[in-house]
Amino acid sequence: MKELSLNILDIVQNSIRAKADEISVGINESADDDLYQIIISDNGIGIPGQILKNVTDPFVTTRTRRKMGLGLSLLKYHAELTGGGLAINSEEGKGTEVNATLSDKHIDRQPLGDIVGVLLILIASNEGINFIYHHKTEKGEYRFSSKETKEYLGVDKFDDRYLLEEIGCMIGENLKEIEASGLDLKERYKKIL
């Protein structure tokens, strides 16, 4: 995976499988502190203690279709490549928090990439889940909640392509405003502007 946003998309799949109805993705970046932190938390079923001990082992998974689980291992690898690390806290029945700490300035720290596209895929295809995205930089912070957005707009789900593109523009504009680094906003704006 070439972008941190793809790692995030991957780890969030674990939360979806854990039957979470609220999944939070937080990014905290600070060039001054040389910190790039990604925190993904959910209120799902949690990870059993025995599996939690070895959860970043690529050959540990709860899946039955295959015997490997590479998502957390890959994120840990990317974090460690920059001198950082990965911590996982989980309690059965309460939820899980994955906390990846990376060096912001390290040459091997991947760019964030198309996080807007990742969020749009998640909110469009998981209508029962409230996705909260929080991004903090030295210039400010931005928070998005799919549930609050639905309530504000009076819609049940995000199944309209135009609405999704507009939401993408809104998130992208706000991330540009706080100067989030390594963003790939693609051609998103040209589609509707």
Q: Among 118, 119, 123, 180, which residue sits at the site for other proteins (rule: CB under 8 A)?
A: 118
Q: In whole angstroms, how close is the CB of 41 to other proteins at the nearest point?
A: 20
Measure CA of the first residue to CA of the last residue in the chain; give whole Å: 30
CA atoms within 13 Å, Cβ hemisphere of 70:
6
- CA angle (4, 106, 173) in 5-degree steps: 45
Do residues 183 and 112 lie in contact, with contact meaning Cβ atoms separated by under 8 Å?
Answer: yes
* Residue 123, token pair as written in the block: 């909110």
Best CA proximity match to 183, nearest among 5, 30, 35: 5
**Site stretch for other proteins (CB under 8 A), options 30-38, 87-95, 129-137, 145-153:** 145-153
Of residues 34 and 141, the one with the C-beta less far from other proteins: 141
Among 21, 141, 166, 184, binds other proteins (CB under 8 A): 166
Closest contact distance (angstroms) between CB of 43 and other proteins is 19
Q: How far is the CB of 153 from other proteins (least distance, A)?
A: 6
Q: Count residues contacting other proteins (CB under 8 A)?
A: 41
Task: Report the residue number, 26 or 71, with the smaller CB distance to other proteins.
Answer: 71
| Minimum CB–partner distance for residue 82 and other proteins (Å) | 19
The neighbour count for residue 181, using CB atoms within 10 Å, is 14
Which window, 28-36, 84-92, 101-109, 147-155, contacts other proteins (CB under 8 A)? 147-155
Distance, in Å, from the CA atom of 146 to the CA atom of 55, rounded to the nearest integer, reads 29
Both structure tokens of 110? 């991947």
146-39-5-121 Cα dihedral, nearest 10 degrees? -20
Cα 69–Cα 47–Cα 29 angle in degrees, nearest 5? 75
44-103: contacts with other proteins (CB under 8 A): 63-67, 69-71, 74
Q: Does 139 bind other proteins (CB under 8 A)?
A: no
Enumerate binding residues for other proteins (CB under 8 A). Answer: 1, 6, 9-10, 13, 17, 63-67, 69-71, 74, 114, 117-118, 121, 124-126, 148-149, 152-153, 159-164, 166-167, 169-170, 173-174, 177, 192-193
